[in-house]
A and B are shown apart, each in its own frame.
Chain A
Amino acid sequence: AQSVTQLDSQVPVFEEAPVELRCNYSSSVSVYLFWYVQYPNQGLQLLLKYLSGSTLVKGINGFEAEFNKSQTSFHLRKPSVHISDTAEYFCAVKGGYNKLIFGAGTRLAVHP
């Protein structure tokens, strides 16, 4: 069965510092990976996705993620965060029947 583990439930960081949000997955089939962001009181918005090809994926708002098959990871990074990046971030893998299997989420708190 496919599953996603987000290793950090909360990540505090200062503004303009780099950040990495960690995600590990387990899957026995082709891997399609997604990162979503949820701002307070809003729905989930796609940040980026990996389907195939280049292992470095660039998304919106300056985020990028690297697919590492040997380590079964798909960590999300941003070189310099802003206050507006404060949100909850969800890693997900596509399962059978086109379903998304989500991790528990990582709350990113950016402090001035």
Chain B
Amino acid sequence: ETGVTQTPRHLVMGMTNKKSLKCEQHLGHNAMYWYKQSAKKPLELMFVYSLEERVENNSVPSRFSPECPNSSHLFLHLHTLQPEDSALYLCASSPQGSGRTDTQYFGPGTRLTVL
């Protein structure tokens, strides 16, 4: 499998559930990103990991918890979410972790619905 993959593609969860989103990149890249795309709002950067270290946390509520065990895998752990957290969650990777020259490659996204 090539590129950036995300699982699951669709997720429905209650506000008291705990779930995790998974992202895997097969491109040998050093940086990975989580984005949130809500209806009628621009894409919002949530977290950036470069060489497995979190380099940016964009004021995201603590009910979202990222984990990057190695440069190929990125998780987003979810707990006690709110209905307004329903959105498309996109993962991306880039070769060097510096946006100055990097192109970002996106996965297909996980469509999350919080009931």
The yes or no verdict on A and B being binding partners is: no
Chain A interface (Cβ < 8 Å from any Cβ of B)? none
Footprint of A on B, CB under 8 Å? none
